[in-house]
Amino acid sequence: MTEQQHDESKLERVIRKIKRCLALSKSSNENEAATAMRQAQSLMREYRLTEMDVRLSGVGEVESEKSRANRRPTWDRHLGAIIAEAFGVRPLSRRHWCDATSRVVERAIFVGVTPAPQIAMYAYETLLNQLTIARRAYVSQVRTGKRRSAYSPDTAGDHFALAWVSAVHGKIHELVPRGEEDPAISQHSNGRDLVAVESHDKALIEQFLADREIGKARKVRELDLDLNAQIAGLLAGQRVELNPGLATGGEAQLQLARA
């Protein structure tokens, strides 16, 4: 372990300790709460940390292992956007030089409060893989004449993929209970607490990205979509089943299967 890695590891332990102290500072026991707050403040002074530094330590980004030589197509970005919305993270794209392929590539990135970005990326990559396979099969059918289209096979495949994503949109949201949809929440809250948490997370994400130069999203021009491709994509998307599961250690996993 290098000296820098050792320092970073030590800082992470300090931040975890500060977080525990801040949590205890909300205790109903006044003496315990006051002691915990003093310890947190002492550690922050010693390591020159602010409470915002501690909060931001829980925000991170996850970059997809999947990359594209060209820009991510619209249907790929749409898939990332609906997953990001469902899990409360910020979707971005990153273009960079890839030494492994010796070319510029583009990858999806999710930014949010841990572990949301990791869960969102798992869902994105799993669904992207399934969508890519479904689109490739449809393009092959158009190319061989099994499917009719007034567009090129690849363009028809893009229209198919857009409809597929639309069909999966609602299924993604069903994985993440919101407000009164979650019985555990509805018993103790009217939903305002959830809104507050989401607003807090968004504020932290914006603060995390404050120093980044983020390009504006490209305007998507309206397209005359292939109706046959749309219908096929919607039907294929509706057949996708998403089964949420909870693994040990509090790590959420998604298991996907075809109906």
Average pLDDT, the chain: 78
d(CA 150, CA 152): 7
Q: What is the pLDDT of residues 91-146, one digit of tens each?
A: 999 888 888 878 889 999 999 887 788 888 888 998 999 999 999 999 999 999 99
pLDDT class of 221 with cuts at 50, 70, 90: low
Angle between helical axes of 153-175 and 227-238 (0-180°, round to 10): 30
Q: Which amino acid is at 35?
A: T
Q: Where are the domains of the chain?
A: 3-56, 60-258
Can you give the pLDDT at residue 182? 45
Lowest mean pLDDT: which of 20-29, 92-101, 111-120, 184-193? 184-193
251: pLDDT strictly greater than 80: no
Give this prediction's pTM: 0.71
Per-residue 3-state assignment (H helix, E strand, C coil) for 112-170: EECCHHHHHHHHHHHHHHHHHHHHHHHHHHHHCCCCCCCCCHHHHHHHHHHHHHHHHHH
C-alpha 58/C-alpha 153 separation (Å) is: 44
